[in-house]
């Protein structure tokens, strides 16, 4: 009889293969599972606790946590996440392949299984100016790393539908290398959806209604149900899940802020919410583990079975799973919220000093020359990345000015527009987190404060800030590509809390106005957005005038 390193005895195993709860001891030897082992160097009595596979995020941008992978792991491991598929799309839009490699290097030696999807849309569209452009030949060498398991979200769905040669070259490359090709097609239905899928794209995480998700599901797509800090789609999409189709469902966060990670959780938060909304607990855990692993052909994880990696989560209450232990490759990595030390040796020097205001910019650069009113105004939709097209006057209630300033190549581009939904007065907010080109996005009610907010972010090397009456009230520095901080997570969370308190003091009712601000430049999600090139009508996929 084999003597294993450790036996977890007396637990209730969540069998995601049979969708049952089994009474079986879990042995661990050399980081792998041996079920039913009887002799071990160490025996740990679980006293009836449940034990499930480690949770897996099917799609996320680690940069959106404002933390590099080493720091992200410190927050996510105590919540039972042992693996994720990272799309380093954000840093790629700033630094190109060099940025992707920095993220991959930082994730190399941590007790967390970081997989990657090669960023397919850099830039996201031709309607913005990014820091880099990545072609198929730039991306292909990334697949030499076995951690690269997919071509990342194909956001340029008009390029797929209208047969853009470079778009199809990337998709064909991913398929030729026997990798999944992730999708990103908000609102796409009917014949256009079928053409998009027929190109070889196998998943989508952008559905916001059950009807849309069901159409995509029935057409063969894997549906990632997204519940992040910005977009929360779980409640709307949960009704589509049945025991018969659940193998075609995964959970993902897409974007998750550090305070939410610490205080609410990660994939475990989605599991608990899904159960509370009525989903069977075992099915919820299957969606968070086995179904992701199966989709990406991660054969060594996703279930507690013989010879699979011992990535495990221990918790007491099946109806409300709160991880108390997380195991990675057979080692306890997090115990009752405390995580092992995860040092970082990454040299981020080349990712710093990436925020450059155009040399020509002045306060007058924020002045708009409106020929007639009403104008097109971007309307925020609470809890969604979608926006509305409103026709209002620039002086109407809760209409604020917005600017997007190109920060990579000194083009001098400043896109100007108007937005409704922030509901603050007497100042401005600015952010270098502006999906996906990550130019400087500014919203305010006066040009002086907007200019000062933009200048403050150049000084800090990037981040988010609040300005009022010519004074900088608070700033969250993000010096790594203007997206992340190399400070400890607790300090980043504290700095984020300061900027949120500052904007709340100006009357903004939004819980985190920087989150919708970060998506207002995203030129691939309907309806109106603003890039450094101007106001973007995504339905027409072109720049349009402010005037109606």
> What digits encode the pLDDT tens for the residues 359-370?
889 999 999 989
Residue 1: per-residue pLDDT: 62
Instruction: Provide the b/e sequence for 139-151 (b: ≥16 CB within 10 Å).
Output: beebbeeeebbbb
| pLDDT tens per residue, range 178-218 | 999 999 999 999 999 999 999 999 999 999 999 999 999 99
Q: Is the pLDDT of residue 341 over 90?
A: no
**Which residues contact residue 59 at a Cβ distance below 8 angstroms, ignoring those fewer than 6 apart?**
85, 87, 117, 153, 182, 203, 205, 224, 226, 250, 252, 253, 254
Domains annotated on the chain, with CATH: 55-300 (3.20.20.140), 352-544 (no CATH)
Q: How far apart are CA 295 and CA 182, in angstroms?
A: 11
CA 12 to chain centre: 32
> Averaged over 529-534, what is the pLDDT?
97
- Residue 237 confidence (pLDDT) above 90: yes
Sequence-distant (6+) residues with CB within 8 A of 263 are: none
* Eight-state DSSP code of residue 91: H
Taking 70 as the threshold, does the pLDDT of residue 423 lie above it?
yes
Q: Are 430 and 408 in contact (CB under 8 A)?
A: no
pLDDT digits (tens, 9 = 90+) for 285-333: 999 999 999 999 999 999 999 999 999 999 999 999 999 999 999 999 9
Q: What is the pLDDT of residues 350-402, one digit of tens each?
A: 999 999 999 889 999 999 989 999 999 999 998 788 999 999 999 999 999 99
Q: φ, ψ for residue 7 (rounded to 5)? A: -120, 130
**Percent of the chain residues past pLDDT 70, beyond the cut:** 100
- Position 343 scores a pLDDT of 86
Q: How far apart are CA 14 and CA 11, in angstroms?
A: 10
């Amino acid at each position: 009889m084999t003597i294993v390193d450790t036996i977890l005895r007396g637990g209730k195993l969540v069998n995601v293969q049979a969708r049952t709860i089994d009474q079986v001891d879990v042995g661990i030897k050399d980081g792998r599972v041996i079920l039913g082992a009887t002799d071990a160097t160490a025996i740990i009595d679980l006293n009836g606790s449940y034990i499930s596979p480690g949770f897996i995020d099917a799609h996320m941008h680690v940069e959106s946590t404002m933390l590099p992978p080493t720091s992200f792991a410190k927050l996510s491991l105590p919540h039972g996440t042992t693996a994720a598929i990272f799309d380093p799309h954000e840093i790629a839009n700033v630094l190109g392949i060099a940025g992707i490699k920095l993220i991959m290097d930082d994730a190399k030696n941590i007790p967390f299984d970081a997989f990657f999807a090669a960023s397919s849309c850099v830039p996201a569209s031709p309607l913005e100016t990014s820091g880099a452009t990545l072609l198929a030949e730039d991306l292909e060498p990334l697949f030499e790393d076995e951690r690269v398991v997919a071509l990342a979200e194909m956001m340029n769905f008009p390029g797929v539908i209208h047969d853009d040669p470079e778009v199809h070259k990337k998709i064909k490359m991913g398929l030729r290398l026997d990798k999944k090709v992730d999708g990103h097609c908000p609102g796409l239905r009917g014949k256009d959806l079928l053409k998009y899928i027929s190109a070889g794209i196998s998943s989508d995480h952008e559905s916001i209604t059950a009807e849309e998700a069901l159409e995509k599901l029935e057409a063969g797509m894997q549906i990632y149900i997204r519940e992040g800090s910005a977009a929360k789609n779980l409640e709307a999409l949960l009704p589509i899940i049945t025991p018969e189709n659940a193998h075609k469902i995964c959970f993902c966060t897409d974007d998750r802020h550090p305070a939410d990670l610490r205080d609410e959780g990660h994939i475990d938060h989605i599991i608990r919410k899904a159960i509370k909304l009525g989903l069977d607990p075992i099915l919820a855990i299957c969606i968070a583990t086995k179904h992701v692993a199966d989709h990406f052909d991660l054969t060594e994880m996703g279930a507690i079975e013989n010879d699979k990696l011992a990535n495990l989560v221990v918790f007491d209450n099946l109806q409300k799973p709160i991880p108390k232990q997380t195991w990675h490759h057979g080692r306890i990595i997090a115990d009752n919220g405390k995580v092992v030390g995860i040092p970082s040796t990454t040299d981020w020097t080349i990712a710093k000093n990436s925020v450059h205001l155009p040399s020509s910019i002045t306060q007058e650069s924020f002045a708009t020359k409106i020929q007639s009113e009403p104008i097109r105004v971007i309307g925020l939709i609470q809890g969604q990345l979608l926006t509305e097209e409103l026709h209002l006057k620039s002086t109407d209630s809760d209409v604020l000015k917005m600017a997007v300033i190109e920060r990579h190549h000194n083009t001098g581009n400043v896109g100007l527009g108007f937005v409704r939904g922030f509901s603050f007065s007497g100042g401005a907010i600015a952010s270098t987190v502006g999906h996906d080109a990550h130019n400087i996005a500014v919203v305010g009610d006066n040009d002086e404060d907007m200019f000062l907010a933009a200048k403050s972010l150049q000084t800090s090397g990037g981040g988010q800030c609040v300005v009022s009456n010519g004074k900088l009230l608070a700033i969250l520095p993000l010096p790594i590509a203007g997206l992340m901080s190399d400070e400890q997570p607790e300090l980043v969370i504290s700095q984020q809390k300061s900027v949120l308190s500052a904007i709340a003091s100006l009357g903004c009712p939004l819980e985190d106005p920087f989150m919708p601000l970060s998506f207002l430049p995203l030129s691939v999600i309907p309806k109106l957005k603003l890039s450094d090139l101007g106001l973007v009508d995504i339905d027409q996929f072109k720049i349009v005038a402010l005037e109606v």
